[in-house]
Copies of this chain bind each other. A is one copy, B any other.
């Protein structure tokens, strides 16, 4: 038997992986969750049929959604992640001893359970002593936290019925109020190839509530369009001027993608990105 999984990146483009085994298929209150074993990409986590991560390339996404802010904020004591129930983002943050508290607000407990069972390399740090898990709606959770966090990371799915509130200007304003005055917001902000209008909307929605907004990107082979963006809303720190090189040298974590050169490079935007989004990162390189 030939077993193949296909994700419809658009109505007209599909990426397909051969499947050795379907390890799990769960319907939670919010979504369908599947874990596939594949020869090329290792285990693959799907939410509603979309690839959330593969074991082979998840390091790029998780290192790049976390370390750029952690290597510019000198004292990030409290960090909030909204989404990210697989644990990959938590895993990267726990590398930083300077972080005191990591709150994970994941609406769907089943994602955490599936990851704990099938993806230990991602979920193992969810049990670390600094990590607190809140099984709540991110929008509601954050409303009660004023001036509380140093870094907030929105590690959500694509906009959907459940997650669409996490992409609005109103939400980013609430996030801004939850951050300390030197705080940083990081949002996974979608594909500039497949969905430039969405990337643009996120950027300009964040820009309404933050004095400095920066787009950065990383190549993620199994995500639609391949060129994936992150948007940083920053109250004070600049991603290149404030890069903490001494801190990097002091503990040089064993990472597979991120290093200080890659950090700077990620903020160098191709012309078409700046043009389609009508933005220009402050001169960085």
Interface, chain A (partner B; CB < 8 A): 4, 6, 10-18, 38-41, 56-57, 59-60, 193, 219-221, 225-227, 255-262, 264-266, 268-272, 275, 284-285
- Please pick, from B225, B255, B264, the residue contacting A221 in the complex, using a CB distance under 8 A: B225
Rounded to whole angstroms, the CA-CA distance of A4 and B271 in the bound complex is: 31
Contact between A14 and B16 (Cβ–Cβ < 8 Å)?
yes
B18 pairs with A16, CB closer than 8 A: no
A261 to B268, CA, bound (A): 5
**30 interchain pairs, CB-CB under 8 A:** A6-B16, A11-B18, A11-B39, A12-B17, A12-B18, A12-B39, A13-B15, A13-B17, A13-B18, A14-B14, A14-B16, A193-B221, A219-B219, A219-B226, A255-B271, A257-B270, A257-B271, A257-B272, A258-B270, A259-B271, A260-B285, A262-B268, A262-B269, A262-B270, A262-B271, A264-B265, A264-B268, A264-B285, A265-B265, A265-B268
- What residues on B are CB-neighbors of A13 within 8 Å? 15-18, 40-41
Copies of this chain present in the complex amount to 2
Report B-chain residues with C-beta under 8 Å of the C-beta of A271: 255-259, 262
Question: Which residues of chain B are near A14, meaning CB under 8 Å?
Answer: 4, 14-16
In the bound complex, how far is the Cα of B196 from the Cα of A56, in angstroms? 14
A36: min CB distance to chain B, Å? 12
From known contacts A13-B40, A14-B16, infer whether A256 and B272 are also in contact, taking CB-CB under 8 Å. yes
Residues of B within 8 A of A56 (CB): 193
Top 3 A-B pairs, shortest CB-CB distance = A265-B265, A265-B268, A261-B268
In the assembly, what is the distance between CA of A63 and CA of B266, in Å? 18
B residues within 8 A CB of A269?
261-262
Q: How far is the CB of A171 from chain B (nearest CB, A)?
A: 29
Interface centre among A11, A268, A284, by most chain B C-beta atoms within 10 angstroms, is A268
Residues of B contacting A270 with CB < 8 Å? 60, 256-259, 262
Q: Counting chain B CB atoms within 10 Å of each CB, which of A16, A18, A255, A269 scores highest?
A: A16
Tell me the minimal C-beta distance from A163 to chain B in angstroms.
24
**Which of A10, A41, A219, A258 neighbours the largest number of chain B CB atoms within 10 Å of its CB?**
A219
Q: Is the CB of B15 within 8 A of A15?
A: yes
The answer for the CA separation of A259 and B39 in the assembled complex, in Å, is 38
* In the bound complex, CA of A40 to CA of B15 (Å): 13
